[in-house]
Amino acid sequence: MARLIRRQMGILLRVITLEAGGAAIQPLWFGLGARPARPAPANLRAKFLREFQHMGSYQYLEPRLLMIGRLLECLRRMGVFLSAQGPVTVDGFRLKNLSYWARYHCETVMGSLGCLSGYCNARCEFCFRYGSMFQRFPHRILCRSEARTRLKYYDPEAKKGLPYPVDDTGEIFLNRALLEILRAVRARAPEALIDDLTTHGNFLDAETVRRLAELKPVFVVISLNSADPALRARLMRGGRDEVGIRAFSLLREHGIPYIGSIVPWPTIPLEDVENSIRFLDAAEAYLIRICLPSFTRHSHPTAPFKGWEHWEKLGAMIERIRPELSTPLLIQPSWYLRREIRAHVDGVIRNSPAFHAGLRFGDVILSVQGKAVLTRQDAAGELVRRRRQGRGARLMILREGKRRRVDLAEDLRAADDCYPYKPAGYQPDPRMLFGIHFIDPFPLDSVVAMARIIREHPEARRIAVMTTVLGEGLFRKALGLLMQSPGFNLPLRKIRVTVAPHRHLGGNIVVGDLHVASDYIEHLEELRRLGYRPDLVLIPSSFTMGEWGLDALGRSYLDIEREIGCRVELVPTRPVKM
Ligand code: SF4
């Protein structure tokens, strides 16, 4: 046994360096059953346990790290390592050859850092962090040295970096090294947008905003929730609400664009929600994000409100005031209010080419440069093409039943100063083409991929396709549209479109990306009891993370196949803007 372990360790030590108390060690020998001469101090044992548990948060991106961590944990229980200095308690490891491990897709330099802070000092009534909704690992705060290593190995061209842990995002300004880390980001990527800065805003005083502005281009997502300090304090329980509310005007003064976020929790009166939206509109937010209140059975064991009633009231208020606003509203989940696949304009960013051309909320784009567009995806594709060519675009739109022509000027240049769309020194946001805000397009390419998978399984007689409450209608429209295209044929009679309830999360969750494998297993078992046994199940891939197809509980989608006993295929689907 001891020889086997030593041989395995020999292989492992080609990949990792062992650590004791934060220092690298070179073990000479492993003694099975032996005990360290001096037991490790309690704080080190606690540290190992904490760090080891933390390894679990890497499993989505790189389960091999978890495997190594588990192996070391087993060895720690079975015996002792000896180094030249005597017995040592191994309490961590470092990966060798980091350039090999820098192979994980990170869209932005900020994304390569992972979570900046897993802690939050507020206690919002609606926070999902209460209750063990998914697997929970000890929170952590990104330190300077790890940030420096991550930045060193990030390749902005290939958009690849080191594996990062998946953690709940907390309050970033609780990280005392935050501004120093951001300065290191700026040095590594002099022109990159520093985004992914999501904050409750209560630390954004005048001095902090001034220092943030020195790092421009910077983009912030900041929670307002209520522009009334007393109501905000009652809802968020974080303190310093006057600072948080004042932060919006400070960001404007310093030319930092931001998304202002509101969760219209039912304890906040509807009139206050409307006032808060108007507050953000007057403060020239880039977008106003409204997260329709959601809860899970873990965060709120007793439902704080019923069914869709509250969402319906909010929806009616939003639709009433929307035409009066100059700021687009980003409603999440976006398909609740708008379930259509046409190129419906959901708003235009203030001071953008679309804004100056007079495009407005509710317009439907029919053609771009004379080319008909049927869906948002089509319209976005044509607009991307025009923008890449450095040209404007001629649109034909439908407004109040009449066709009109709208001419978009070419998109802005880096030197142009048009807050909030594009302050000086910023590049136009590639997702907001000419400043047009579309909600998530229904992914027609996913339906095309689904058709391909079905063709690869001619033997399948009964095919179950999983969708969501909000996606079901859109899916059927998309299918109807594609069935009209020549060459696209699908054996519709074999297909059953079905919605798996969110049993694990419960509450009023409707977004498919928040499913877990057990939701699908239980739903398929239920269908079986009702006499339906599919031999091929197609599931949107967006409920899994990383390349290993693991759900938020760390369970593989292949477990569905194993438990149900029929073939399961993932249909490539992008996560929705939650
Ligand atoms: S600010 Fe965000 S993370 Fe903090 S308690 Fe509120 S919802 Fe949760």
Which CATH topology does 444-571 take?
Answer: Rossmann fold (3.40.50)
Q: What pLDDT does residue 50 have?
A: 55
Q: What pLDDT does residue 209 have?
A: 98
Q: Which residue matches tokens 């980003």?
A: 330
Determine the Cα–Cα distance for residues 213 and 220; give it in Å rounded to an integer: 11
Q: Which residue matches tokens 């499913």?
A: 515
Determine the Cα–Cα distance for residues 545 and 552; give it in Å rounded to an integer: 7
Residue 527: what residue type? L
Does the Cβ of 118 fall within 6 Å of ligand 1?
A: no
Ligand 1 atom at minimum distance from 122 CA: 5
Residue 322 burial (CB count, 10 A): 19
At 292, list the tokens.
């329709």
Angle of helix 178-188 relative to helix 144-152, nearest 10 degrees, comes to 10
Ligand 1 atom at minimum distance from 120 CA: 4
Determine the Cα–Cα distance for residues 155 and 544; give it in Å rounded to an integer: 25
At 139, list the tokens.
């929170």
Burial letters for 458-496: b for 16+ Cβ neighbours within 10 Å, e otherwise?
Answer: eebebbbbbbbbbbbebbebbbebbeeeeeeebeeeebe
Does the Cβ of 200 fall within 6 Å of ligand 1?
A: yes
Does the Cβ of 239 fall within 6 Å of ligand 1?
A: no
Ligand 1 atom at minimum distance from 129 CA: 8
Ligand 1 pocket: which of 121, 124, 299 to mutate (most atoms within 8 A of CB): 124
- pLDDT tens for the chain, 578 residues: list them: 777 877 888 888 899 998 887 788 887 777 777 555 455 555 555 555 555 556 778 888 888 888 888 888 888 778 788 887 778 888 788 899 999 999 999 999 999 999 999 899 999 999 987 765 555 677 889 999 999 999 999 999 999 999 988 877 899 999 999 999 999 999 999 999 999 899 999 999 999 999 999 999 999 999 999 999 999 999 999 999 999 999 999 999 999 999 999 999 999 999 999 999 999 999 999 999 999 999 999 888 899 988 788 999 999 999 999 999 999 999 998 888 887 789 999 999 999 999 999 999 999 999 999 999 988 889 999 999 999 999 999 999 999 999 999 999 998 887 889 999 999 999 888 888 999 999 887 778 888 899 899 989 999 999 999 998 888 888 888 888 788 777 777 777 788 999 999 999 999 988 878 899 999 999 999 999 999 999 999 999 999 988 899 998 889 999 999 999 999 999 998 876 54
Q: What pLDDT does residue 396 have?
A: 97
Does the Cβ of 210 fall within 6 Å of ligand 1?
A: no
Nearest to 258, CA basis, from 271, 270, 272, 244: 244
Domain extents in the chain: 2-96, 444-571
Q: How far is the CA of 168 from the centre of ligand 1 (A)?
A: 10
Does the Cβ of 170 fall within 6 Å of ligand 1?
A: yes
Q: How far is the CA of 171 from the centre of ligand 1 (A)?
A: 7
Does the Cβ of 120 fall within 6 Å of ligand 1?
A: yes
Q: How far is the CA of 67 from the centre of ligand 1 (A)?
A: 32
Q: How far is the CA of 123 from the centre of ligand 1 (A)?
A: 6
The size of the chain, in residues, is 578
